[in-house]
A = this chain, B = another copy of it.
Amino acid sequence: MANSMKKTAIILLSGGLDSTTVLAIAKAQGFALHALSFDYGQRHAIELEAAKRVAASMGVERHTIVPMDLRVFGGSSLTADIAVPKHDSVAEMDVGIPITYVPARNIIFLSYALACAEVAGAGDIFLGVNAIDYSGYPDCRPDFIAAFEQMANKGVAAAVEGNMPIKLHTPLITMSKAEIIKEGLRLGVDYGQTHSCYDPAPNGEACGQCDSCLLRAKGFEEAGTIDPVIKIKEA
């Protein structure tokens, strides 16, 4: 079947492990892929390079990169100049809403996805939110996702007119990191192309001690395989 015959899906692609796995899942479901990434003045622009690598190698038909500047609001270590927390293990991580929370970030990203969906005529939106490993983020939870979908179907013209309902696909939402990795490997994902670290070295090397590195390492360990990217420092 030619790609032009396929239904298109919008996939929020950060270039990390989760969103890359979601891209593979959308592809396996037969969608033509329109990836959407954000260049939001984050200090890990290395992540955006990973998104471009992943999009190029996984047959994405279109990759829209939206410039934005969340720093205008301040408030998170992913965009502002405050230290990313470091730990030696997942057990030491803080509970509650992490300091790396960017105010309303997923809401803003999803809103742009709606604009993208409307212009592309594609109501299927995939995103790699996960309520298990990272439940501190309220905008990763199923009831938020359901509420966003409801709002979108009342606010997006094409959805209101009835010819393009908005559907949010969150295939990872109840999966553990190990399950996500196993599913990605089954679908042929090359995790060596992805990037997860919140605080990489200038050469892009992962720190191995931020929350994101630790969750990723734990996931690979539990999946019984080796992470091609992160080498956790020995305690």
Contact = CB atoms under 8 A, between A and B. Distances in A.
Contacts of A107: 111, 114-115, 151-152, 155-156
A118 B138 contact: no
A139 B114 CA distance: 12
Quick one: copies of this chain in the complex?
A: 2
A70 interface: yes
Interface string A40-70: 0000000000000000000000001111111
A188 interface: no
Interface residues of A, number: 45
A31 interface: no
23 contacts: A64-B72, A66-B69, A70-B115, A74-B119, A102-B115, A103-B156, A104-B111, A104-B114, A104-B118, A104-B156, A107-B151, A108-B108, A108-B114, A108-B115, A110-B111, A139-B155, A139-B156, A141-B154, A143-B154, A144-B151, A147-B147, A150-B150, A150-B151
Nearest to A102: B115
B119 A138 contact: no
A233 to B, nearest CB: 30
A156 B101 CA distance: 10
Contacts of A137: 157
A157 B138 contact: yes
Given A68-B68, A143-B154, A148-B155, A103 B75 contact: no
A103 B118 contact: yes
